[in-house]
Structure 1
Amino acid sequence: MRNSLKSLRSLIVICLLCIPALSIALEEKDGVPMTLVATPQIALPGMSVKLSGTTVTAGDYVIVNLLVTPPPEKVVGGTTSKAPTPVNLTTKCDAHGAFSVDFIQTKTVGTYTVSAKSPVGTGTGSTTFQVQAISDISSLATSKFEELGQAFTEYADTLEESVNNLPASDERKQLLQSSAQITAQLTELNSQAATIRPHLKTMSEALDIPPEELASQPAAEFIKDLSAWTIEADQQIDRLKSLLPKQKAAQSICEMIHIAGEGMRMASNGLAFYGKGMSVVINLAIDKGIPLLLNQISSERCALWDASAKGLASATQKTAGMLSGIVGLLNDAATLYTDVLLNRYCGVYSGPIKATMSADFKHLGQSYWKYSTTVEGTFTLRFPKNTPGGGAVRMTGEVFGNATSYTFWEDIEKVMEVPAAGQLLARIPITPGPFPPLYKDSLGLGQLTNLLIPSVFYIPLEAQMEGDNVAIKFMEPVKEIESYLLKNQLILVYMAFGLPVPAVKYIEFPVNGAHFILSRGMRNPAEITISGQGKQRAMKKTYQRTYEEPANKEFTIDWVVDLDATNPPKK
């Protein structure tokens, strides 16, 4: 079987080298795909942690084996650590291969490592989680508030830079005033948030009680929420820094206005996440959180605890109250950019685009693998209204969308044989999706915020418009569909003579991303002629293309791309 698969790889490589960017082959992977996650990723001592995931099952082979290795246990009064004793767990998969089990032996503070083995084949999964004291979790959370505050401050500097580059106008004055207000309020926000740290530290360190008592209290649930927030905070900080809008040399006013507006929406959503963390701390600060717990464990409460509880409640409530004002300023500024300035300075062609690429691979004239991928999105090109006549007009924009559907068919036995005396137990094809049209942004989060969605892509466009003729160039993606969604998968489970357990073959069938589908389907550069007269003009065209390998016709690729962008955009 392995030799036949090697022959298949060679065959496909030879065929696909004919088309640049399709020179990838089927690949047999060791084991089977398996996921494993721990929830929560940061837990309190004595708190249960759920270990869950998905894998492949076949027949009676449905049991997942897990091994949890705790951190070394400190020896009291010594300088050495006691070697951890691994804990074995087993759990049964459901009909869809999903499994979960609770791990409750979490008394030792530190990092726990988890490994899992699938019921069939050699598939494995691994993950880690941490057990931390309340004082450590609260310290981590306050540091994340400070990091987020710094990231927002960096954004405010970029906002001021973009406003300064605008042409003189009443709106520019208004935006400069808003920028100054945002900067001042962020400075005050960061200063106020800093007062949270000492109060939360004092209160959390007071909770020196047995883990089993703590885990049964309402405060433990709030601490659990806070630990989950710190994990997500790292992602938010990375996103704010990596997607922070920057001014570029020779950036057109249309680019500047669009990117600045999107950046404001991203910052507004980031501040909403900041507020989510503050809400958790408020719950800890008031009577149903840490004060309630301290009152239960000590009838004669220390005055310092009372003072810290009141100080913590006051600091977090003031900080949370500041957020709405900053968010309001950001949203007003974003509206001014997108609804007023963009319309004043720029013309816009925008509308839906949908593309499907289909592939059919053959061996000796017979198909053994077919697939298709469909992407949908919004196509936008902007151009300055004050461009002098008589020359080419530079346009910039983007295609923002997501993969929506995949198809997959295979008859792999045409090029690969099941071993002699082998009985096929399961044939499991796996395709990504389907995914809804997430690019339509029904929640109003903005393009930059939605770039975190795995199926979403963002491809910048540059174009030249001469009269009614436009040449459109697809630039390198800012964000492509995530790589783990660019493949179909096949799992073959069979029982061969003499084997005590099933044998598994796991094969990945690679597919192409949005940039390849659009730039090859429309060509790069793509050409289009603007149609229509008067107030409503359109870039409307259906691009159809077929590529057939000319030597022996062992594969065929078809593209269909429908574009319908209008100026002004349809509501």
Structure 2
Amino acid sequence: MRYTLFFILIFFAHSHKADAQIFKRLGDQVKATVRGRADRKVDETINKAIDSLGTKSKKKEKNTQPAVNNKTENKSEKTSSELPAKTGDDTNMEPQDGYIQAKVFPDQTLTGASLVISGETMYSDKIKEVSIVITPPKGAKAVSYKTLINKNDGSFKLPFNNTNAEGNYSVKVNSPDGKASKDITFTIYDFGKLDQIATGVKDLLRQSNTKLKEVVSKIKEQISSKDAKEIDEKMKETEEKIDAAEKMLTSINDGCGKLGDAAMAGKGMPENVRKNMGELNDVFKKQEEVMKEQVEKASHAPADNTVCEVLVWLDEVCAAFSTVTNFYAKTITKVLGNIVLDKAIPKMAEVANKAVGDMPSDHDFWVKEPSKILATAIFDAKSLETMLGKGEITADVLQYGISVLLKRYCGTYKGELQFHYENIYSHEGDNWWKYTYDCGAAVSLRYPINQTGGIIKMKGNIEGNATNFTFGYDVKHMLPKNVTIYDQRSITPLSVPFVTSQHDALGFGGFARAAATPSYFNLTVDAEYNTETETITFFYNTALVDFTPAVANRGLIMIIAANIPIIKYINFPINKMGKTFGATLKRNSEFKVTEKGTKILGSGDMSIGQGSAIEHKANFTLTATKE
């Protein structure tokens, strides 16, 4: 009886446990089904609206022609600037499950140094953490980490310092709902490669110097022998600075290489030295990235071979040197000084002496030797700092080219542009998506001063940035009634509320600003000034730089279905400045020139697709004065 009762109890215990598991699985299936249905319904309704973009009824077709308010239609447009029927690549607008953005900085650093994995996602009371899986090199086991999400902006950050193994690390950052992930990598190199810490920047410096000499040679072909001699003097001063910068980079490679060799030889490397080496690495990696971008942008030929355009090309080539400044040299001097003077090493030595008498030779090395090994690098960095003063490395030759030669050989107009654009999308009669942007720009026109005749042909740039974005979308009325929107966010691109190019005349660091200014553009235009009718006609040409794919609005929606949060992410593309301004300028291309040819004043507007599924509106004002 006792044994029978025992087996009956075991049977019931297992059957209840089995029932619990069955009920749990059934519950999970129900939740998954509800979630799946909600997922599909959200996708279907949003996709329906997206697919309808650009569809117009035949009745409305007649009203979708541009409302042209220009004085003269541009008959000889150089480049097509018509707006597309749809915005950007609409395949990118497919609603995505989950949302996660992530990056690592630095993506290359020294063994033992720290780095940070950061990004953004959605936050709710039910999903508060991001999962990050890091796989070390050489087949090592992956390690999982959790980090909290900032509930205010969805940002997260994970400091990581388990970087003792050399090689490539793989990182998978998972969205909190497990529906999306982001793969990134970083590389850890050992002490033996410290002799290459500045090599990337050094190589780019040499490439830029070669290109600079080529441009100056072309300028000299078109100017007087006196001016050619003067620009040679300016180049001599510039090359002295370039040589000083290269000397500094060489001595840094040499000094850091010797410290790395010591660490490889068994002397280790104190934590504070590793930290400062990592900071020095970050300085060079950031500069290398910017210099590489500027070198690529300056690789093209000038718009034409006139002295005016070659002088503008000079600006583009000099942009690669723009980060080599007095401030840059000071930063390097400070980091090198920290390696030598950081009090952590002497204090450690003092404690060790008191505890065990004579200090081990390895500790003795890190107290005494870095100051000797890095002495040349510190001296070279301070010398460059003094030589640069408050300018940058090519300031002498660039200032002479733009402030003297451009004015001597070219006529110039300088002014500004203000531009407003809005794009409205409707679905079944309701506006469900609208965005706008405001842009400001510096306007620069130039022409060879020896031009004669009734028509003066000019080249120009419209260089600026977006100063404001607005963005809104509404999918609530398109969703099923039983789906609750827990959170809906509209994320606009970065912008600055002022025009950076108006604080620094075009021709002095214009292309350098592209790397530092959010939502930057640099458009080229041609112009024809009719001296008899006192009118000037503009022709949009092309964009040297325009909004990158990162300049996009983003919509994040979190819905609740079966008490489970579901995240939907939609990328809303933005029409580039070249397209929108180019289309508007095409319809408003001719302006009056007043005050005896010294002032240009123009304005215009555009309206396309009134009453249709897609509507474009734009307006601008442009002013310029002869210098």
Task: Please give the TM-score of this superposition, normalised by the length of structure 2.
Answer: 0.77
Matched, 1:423 2:484: yes
**1:285, 1:118 → 2: CA distance?**
39
**1:116, 1:193 → 2: CA distance?**
36
The one-letter code matched in structure 1 to 2:172 is S
* Residues 1:60 and 1:246: Cα distance change in structure 2 (over 3 Å): closer
What is the Cα deviation at residue 174 of structure 1? 0.9
23-32 or 61-70: bigger deviation: 23-32
User: What runs of 5+ residues in structure 1 fail to find an aligned partner?
Assistant: 73-82
266-275 or 521-530: bigger deviation: 266-275
**Of the candidates 188, 191, 213, which is equivalent to residue 131 of structure 1?**
188
- The aligned runs of 1:61-210 (5 Å cut-off) are 61-72=127-138, 83-95=139-151, 96-120=153-177, 122-136=179-193, 138-168=194-224, 170-183=226-239, 186=242, 190=246, 193-194=249-250, 196-208=252-264
Partner residue of 1:234?
288
Number of residue pairs the alignment of both structures matches: 545
* Residues 1:465 and 1:144: Cα distance change in structure 2 (over 3 Å): same
Partner residue of 1:313?
375
The one-letter code matched in structure 1 to 2:279 is D
Partner residue of 2:558?
493
Partner residue of 2:297?
243
**2:613, 2:411 → 1: CA distance?**
46
Partner residue of 2:538?
472
The one-letter code matched in structure 2 to 1:177 is E
* Residues 1:442 and 1:32: Cα distance change in structure 2 (over 3 Å): farther
Q: Contact 2:493–2:519 (CA<8 Å) still a contact in 1?
A: no
SS of the residue 2:496 aligns to: coil
**2:304, 2:474 → 1: CA distance?**
53
**Of the candidates 424, 430, 446, which is equivalent to residue 360 of structure 1?**
424
* Residues 1:268 and 1:105: Cα distance change in structure 2 (over 3 Å): closer
Structure showing the higher helix proportion among its residues: 2
The one-letter code matched in structure 1 to 2:556 is I
What is the Cα deviation at residue 129 of structure 1? 2.5
What is the Cα deviation at residue 399 of structure 1? 0.4
What is the Cα deviation at residue 337 of structure 1? 2.1
What is the Cα deviation at residue 447 of structure 1? 0.5
* Residues 1:286 and 1:424: Cα distance change in structure 2 (over 3 Å): closer
The one-letter code matched in structure 2 to 1:449 is A
SS of the residue 1:400 aligns to: strand
**2:434, 2:294 → 1: CA distance?**
40
SS of the residue 1:12 aligns to: coil
Matched, 1:399 2:462: yes
What is the Cα deviation at residue 343 of structure 1? 2.0
**1:539, 1:560 → 2: CA distance?**
17
The one-letter code matched in structure 2 to 1:547 is I
**2:435, 2:485 → 1: CA distance?**
23
Partner residue of 1:436?
497
Partner residue of 1:541?
602
The one-letter code matched in structure 2 to 1:318 is D
* Residues 1:264 and 1:104: Cα distance change in structure 2 (over 3 Å): closer
Partner residue of 2:356?
none
Q: Contact 1:361–1:556 (CA<8 Å) still a contact in 2?
A: yes
250-259 or 439-448: bigger deviation: 439-448
Radius of gyration: which is bigger? 2
* Residues 1:113 and 1:438: Cα distance change in structure 2 (over 3 Å): farther
**Of the candidates 538, 557, 570, which is equivalent to residue 507 of structure 1?**
570
The one-letter code matched in structure 2 to 1:490 is G
**2:599, 2:336 → 1: CA distance?**
53
What is the Cα deviation at residue 159 of structure 1? 4.1
The one-letter code matched in structure 2 to 1:147 is D
Matched, 1:565 2:621: no
What is the Cα deviation at residue 290 of structure 1? 12
**1:368, 1:188 → 2: CA distance?**
59
**1:92, 1:318 → 2: CA distance?**
44
**1:261, 1:358 → 2: CA distance?**
33
Partner residue of 2:414?
350
Q: Contact 1:480–1:513 (CA<8 Å) still a contact in 2?
A: yes
- The aligned runs of 1:277-426 (5 Å cut-off) are 278-279=332-333, 282-283=336-337, 286-288=340-342, 298-299=360-361, 310=372, 312-318=374-380, 320-322=382-384, 325=387, 330-389=394-453, 391-414=454-477, 416-418=478-480, 421-426=482-487
Superimposed CA distance per residue, residues 1-44 of structure 1 (whole angstroms, 9 cap, x where no aligned partner): 23333432331143599874242447123223322233443444
Q: Contact 2:148–2:156 (CA<8 Å) still a contact in 1?
A: yes
**1:87, 1:557 → 2: CA distance?**
50
User: What runs of 5+ residues in structure 2 fail to find an aligned partner?
Assistant: 1-40, 65-81, 353-358
**1:245, 1:49 → 2: CA distance?**
33
**1:425, 1:166 → 2: CA distance?**
67
Instruction: Select the structure with the greater relative contact order (CA < 8 A; seq sep ≥ 6).
Output: 2
* Shift >6 Å, 4+ stretches: 16-19, 289-297, 300-308, 326-329
**Of the candidates 90, 107, 116, which is equivalent to residue 50 of structure 1?**
116
**1:28, 1:145 → 2: CA distance?**
41
The one-letter code matched in structure 2 to 1:494 is I
**1:56, 1:161 → 2: CA distance?**
55
283-292 or 125-134: bigger deviation: 283-292
**1:289, 1:378 → 2: CA distance?**
50
* Residues 1:140 and 1:347: Cα distance change in structure 2 (over 3 Å): same
Partner residue of 1:521?
584
What is the Cα deviation at residue 543 of structure 1? 0.6
Partner residue of 1:77?
none
The one-letter code matched in structure 1 to 2:487 is A
What is the Cα deviation at residue 48 of structure 1? 3.9
Superimposed CA distance per residue, residues 453-472 of structure 1 (whole angstroms, 9 cap, x where no aligned partner): 34110011111111222221
**2:583, 2:338 → 1: CA distance?**
55
